[in-house]
Structure 1
Amino acid sequence: MNAYLILDLSINNFESFREYIEKIPLFIKKHGGRYIVQGVEPEVMEGDWCPERVVILEFPSKENAKEFLGDTEAQPLFSIRHKSTTSKLILAEGCS
């Protein structure tokens, strides 16, 4: 069953974040993932959720998504994201 990582982020330091943008696609692909939505400015349709940017990644399974997040080689990049953005991340399984 496919799984989705949904990232809501505001970029606080684009120069620092640039390295993450350039290098993280390799790790996404390594774990069978792909971009569904890549850093777009969403249009709010209901409610008070107002993310600045949204990224949605699709993985073949919840396990693949968790392996991506736990990849020791990618940790320095996640650290860059944590330091250069304000972000929220959720994992959701899709329908079979």
Structure 2
Amino acid sequence: MAVYTVAQVKINDGERYEKYRERFGAVLQQYDGRLVAADDNPVVQEGQWSYEKIVILEFADLDAFNAFADSESYREIAAHRHAGADSLILVAKGR
């Protein structure tokens, strides 16, 4: 069953976040992940939202996502995201 990640991001240090973004696609591809959507200015339809960017990814299943998230290559670039942005990441099972 496919899983989707929804990352909500607020960038605090553009240079550090850019180091993450530059390498993200190659790491995602190594784990057969798929970028579904990325929007630097999503429309808030309802409620309050304190982030500024949203990224939605798809993986074949939870094991595939965990392999990606736990990989050395992702942890290496994630350090730049942690230093350059505040983020909230959700993982949801598809139907």
TM-score clears 0.5:
yes
d(CA) in 1 for partners of 2:33, 2:84:
23
Question: Is 1:81 the equivalent of 2:76?
Answer: no
Question: Is 1:90 the equivalent of 2:79?
Answer: no
Q: Which amino acid aligns with 1:81?
A: R
Give, in angstroms, the shift of residue 66 of structure 1: 1.1
User: % of aligned pairs identical?
Assistant: 27
Consecutive unaligned residues of structure 2, counting only runs of 5 or more, are none
Q: Return structure 1 stretches of 4+ with deviation > 3 angstroms.
A: none
Aligned residue number for residue 20 of structure 1: 20
Deviation sequence 1:17-70 (CA, Å, 0-9, x none): 111111011111111111111243111111223431000011111111111110
Query: Mean alpha-carbon deviation: is it higher for 45-54 or for 75-84?
Result: 45-54
Consecutive unaligned residues of structure 1, counting only runs of 5 or more, are none
SS at match of 2:36: strand
Residues paired across the two proteins, number: 95
